[in-house]
Amino acid sequence: MDHFDWNVNPETVREVFAVGLVAIGLISMLAMFGAAGALGTKINDFFTTLLGSIHILVPFFMLGAGAVIWNPSIVTLRWSTLGGVALLFLSLAGVVSPYGGAIGNGVSSFISSLVGGLAGLIVLAAAVLMSVLLIFNTSFKSLFGGVSMPKINLKMPELADRNDNDDSRVSVFQAVKEKFKGNGAPQINTGSKAQVSQQSSTLNHKSSNAGDWQFPPLDLMNLPKGKATAGNVVKNVEVIQKTLKDFNIAVTMGDVNIGPTVTQYTLKPAEGVRLNQITSRSNDLALALAAPSIRIEAPIPGKSAVGIEVPNKVAAMVTLREVLETDEFKNVKSSLTIALGRNAAGEPKAVDLKKMPHLLIAGSTGSGKSIAINSLITGLLYQNTPEELKMILVDPKRVEFTPFNDIPHLLTPVITEPDKTINTLKWSLVEMERRYKMLQDAGSRDIISFNEKNPNNTLPYIVIVIDELADLMAQSAKEVEGAIVRLAQMARAVGMHLVVATQRPSVDVITGLIKANITTRMAFTVASQIDSRTIIDSSGAEKLLGKGDMLFISPEYSSKPRRIQGCLLTEKEIEDVTGFLKKNSPPQYNEEVANYAPKGLTGGVGGDGEVDDDLFDEARQTVVQAGKASASLLQRRLRVGYARAARLLDLLEDQGVIGPASGSKPRDVLVGLDSEFPTMSSGDSSQPPPPGFTQ
């Protein structure tokens, strides 16, 4: 006998017990119709003798109990629930006495002996009501006006042009109804739905001078498909409250906002509970909810509540078209409105680039950063004519902005070379100064008042989009940082705006000066909390889910990061929109933008042999003193980029200061300090200003 293992898996015992209860319930149900043989008759007679006429409830109780034991996640079992079931059978049997069997007669006789017949009936009726309250853990208010569970506020907007057979984006709505079916449907407050205008072939653009320009139709982009599945919302509410209670944190659960990517469970801490007590339990809540990660927003801006954001089981897609069609987007009275996406409550969000007035975007590879930039550009193209908006697109990766080449809104073809990018930034600085001079002469404070005073000679807005800042900083950090900082400080009033993106959010790329002057930022998924703090000065981006999930922070809109699901824009949609624009009008490029080279900034030798780089003398002195010449030496000593250092080496070689290159070895120095060489031109070195945009 010692060779036998008599231990039985508890799961097996539980399921065997559940099967037994279900079997007894089915046999009892058949026995009521005389279809269960002798055994069924004996079981039916036993329950009839015990409970009288209410024995018809026994099969249903057995079946329900078996189902709950089989799958405990169906209902959270409490002692109050079991006590409520027992009280229900006792009180019902007493109410129907003398037809309540032995138990009913005994209960009725006992109560009547205490308070009399009529009062006893009142007591038994009250006991029936109390048993219902205990079973469903609810209240009288819930029975007659909803459920006592926390208010579930499903704020998911309805979308325009949905067919009847389209999937609803809020699958949990029906799930919650089914869960409480027969017990009083829960009071579901759908909140204020995001108003979506009727479908139109084109966006009601904000252009004041469209003329004959044809804007692309919205039909070129897709409406969303699929639905967001939040999981068991009711159970999650209970799990959150119970988990916090286990750590002696008392909270009152509030609204549940189902967004496209996450579901936000709001709660209000009890008096005396510190917020850091809740935020420190992030990992414990994630474990209890079986979630990959959660984010706690404490407090929610504008509310006396804390938000716990739990990833949805199935995320919903947010498209650019659906946001462009909303009143939230159209109510932003600006031609530079950016469609961000939908927040954790499913509400569409749009912001004005003029108010920001520059934007920094950062996130790891595959986080949705490039798609967000493409959505931003496409959204601007839907609102502006080429006379109202000009764009400069910088794409060191060479593949992201290819579809936008040759659209009429571009000032220059998409720039892919770092040297041309630096030239473009220098041109932008000169153009900014030229515009300030025009505003000064016209007595205007900004571009808006200038264009109102000069309707026949308006200045277009210029948006400069740089897709990868890290590549440029690696080439010429000092020049790039200086140009970006100066544009960020001064370019707002003259209608020039920067959108800078990087997939390497380190302090040598997103420097302190750049962060100080570009305060509006988007943070996509990053690898670490350090990267998150580098972008938005707080943690949280490391817990994002990718695929467009972002944290947006802007002093104009929110001092704290707000979670938003960005818009999805496919490559085919971009090609369709840009193809329409290319057919509408040919591009009109300004060749000077990418090739701008003011004297003193880019070296060269004039036709008369004079050197026109102001660092030539310093470079000559440096290599002569060092006794060798190399690009890395000039980069360190003169603090210039590689391109300019290499050009200085060419100049020194042309002037006979150093010898030719010899592989990877430093070049030989051929002269001494007392040798004479051409110096900087003493003539007028001023560069004519770039041509304006006289319309």
Percentage of the chain lying above the pLDDT 70 cut: 81
Give residue 61's pLDDT: 84
Name the pTM for this structure.
0.62
Q: What CA–CA distance (Å, rounded) separates 220 from 377?
A: 15
The pLDDT of residue 339 is above 90: yes
Among 530, 552, 585, give the residue marking a domain's end.
585
pLDDT of residue 654: 81
pLDDT at 609 over 60: no
Domain of 173, CATH number, reads 3.30.980.40
pLDDT at 317 over 70: yes
Is 327 found in the same domain as 312? Answer: no
Say whether both 178 and 34 belong to one domain.
Answer: no
CATH of the domain at 609: 1.10.10.10
Beta-carbon count within 10 A of 531 CB: 23
**With left for phi above 0 and alpha for psi between -120 and 50, is residue 305 left, alpha or beta?**
beta
Q: Looking at residue 684, what is its pLDDT?
A: 40
The amino acid at 45: D
Asked whether the beta carbons of 460 and 494 are under 8 A apart, the reply is: no
Q: Give the pLDDT band (50/70/90) at residue 341.
A: very high
**Confidence band, pLDDT 50/70/90 cuts, at residue 162:** very low
d(CA 611, CA 675): 15
Q: Which of 226-240, 252-266, 326-340 has the lowest mean pLDDT?
A: 226-240
User: Based on the domain organization, do 573 and 634 belong to the same domain?
Assistant: no
Please report the pLDDT score of residue 70 as a whole number: 79
pLDDT tens digits for range 623-668: 888 888 988 889 888 888 888 888 888 888 888 888 887 777 788 8
Assess whether 140 and 151 both reside in one domain.
no
Q: Is 17 a domain residue?
A: yes
Residues 36, 77 share a domain = yes
Q: Give the range among 88-97, 328-337, 601-610, 659-668 with minimum mean pLDDT.
A: 601-610
Q: Indicate whether 367 and 478 sit together in one domain.
A: yes
Q: Judge whether 619 lies within some domain.
A: yes
Check whether 404 has a pLDDT greater than 50.
Answer: yes
3-state SS, residue 333 = coil
Same domain membership, residue 61 and residue 176: no
CATH code at position 550: 3.40.50.300
Long-range contacts of residues 386-389, Cβ cutoff 8 Å, at least 24 apart? 386/213, 386/460, 386/585, 386/588, 387/209, 387/211, 387/213, 387/458, 387/460, 387/695, 388/207, 388/209, 388/335, 388/458, 388/460, 388/461, 389/335, 389/336, 389/460, 389/461, 389/462, 389/463
Q: Which residues of 250-286 are buried (b: 16+ CB within 10 A; e: fewer)?
A: ebebbbbbbbbbbbbbbbebeeebeeeebeebeeebb
What is the pLDDT, as a whole number, of residue 189?
34
What pLDDT sits at residue 386?
92
Can you name the residues that pair with 258 across neighbouring β-strands?
Answer: 263
Note the pLDDT of residue 459: 92
Residues 534 and 663 in one domain: no
The answer to whether position 164 is within a domain reads yes
**Distance (Å, whole) CA 364 – CA 55:** 65
Give dist(CA 596, CA 412) in Å, integer. Answer: 12
d(CA 230, CA 172) in angstroms, rounded, equals 6
**Of 166 and 118, more confident:** 118
Residue 418 confidence (pLDDT) = 83
Predicted local confidence at residue 323, as pLDDT: 93
On whether both 331 and 262 belong to a single domain, the answer is no
Are 170 and 154 contacting, i.e. CB atoms less than 8 angstroms apart? yes
Q: Is residue 683 part of a domain?
A: yes
The answer on 442 and 293 residing in a single domain is: no
What pLDDT score was predicted for residue 98?
A: 82
Q: What is the pLDDT of residue 413?
A: 92
Say which amino acid occupies 618: E
Residue range 495-529, pLDDT digits in tens: 999 999 999 899 989 999 999 999 999 999 999 99
The residues near 417 (Cβ < 8 Å, ≥ 6 apart) are none
- Residue 209 lies inside a defined structural domain of this protein: no
Give the angle 306-310-311 at the CA atoms, nearest 5°: 150
Residue 307 and residue 324 share a domain: no
* Residue 217 in domain: no
Q: Is 412 left (phi over 0), alpha (psi -120 to 50) or beta?
A: beta
pLDDT (0 to 100) of residue 118: 83
**Dist. CA 199–CA 92, nearest whole Å:** 58
Non-local (6+) Cβ contacts of 117 within 8 A are: none
251: domain range? Answer: 147-193+226-316
- Beta-carbon contacts of 495 under 8 Å, excluding residues fewer than 6 positions away, are 435, 446, 447, 459, 460, 461, 462
Least confident of 41-45, 78-82, 92-96: 78-82
Q: What is the pLDDT of residue 106?
A: 86
In terms of domains, do 576 and 607 share one? no
pLDDT digits (tens, 9 = 90+) for 21-74: 888 888 888 888 878 788 888 888 888 888 888 888 888 888 888 887 777 666
- Summarize pLDDT for 241-297 with one digit per residue, the tens: 999 999 999 999 988 888 899 999 999 999 888 999 999 999 999 999 999 889 998
- Using the predicted structure, report yes or no on whether residue 408 has a pLDDT greater than 90: yes
**Burial of 617 (C-beta count, 10 Å sphere; 0-12/13-18/19+):** middle
What's the mean per-residue pLDDT of the chain? 80
Does some domain include residue 114? Answer: yes
**Rounded to whole angstroms, how far apart are CA atoms 464 and 425?**
9
**Among residues 423, 502, 433, 490, which one has the least CA distance to residue 465?**
502
What whole-number distance in Å separates Cα of residue 536 and Cα of residue 552? 8
Q: Into how many domains does the chain fold? A: 4
pLDDT for residue 385: 92
Helices within 443-499 (DSSP H only)? 447-453, 469-490
203 is a domain residue: no
Can you list the alpha helix ranges (DSSP code H) found in 494-599?
512-517, 529-536, 571-584, 592-595
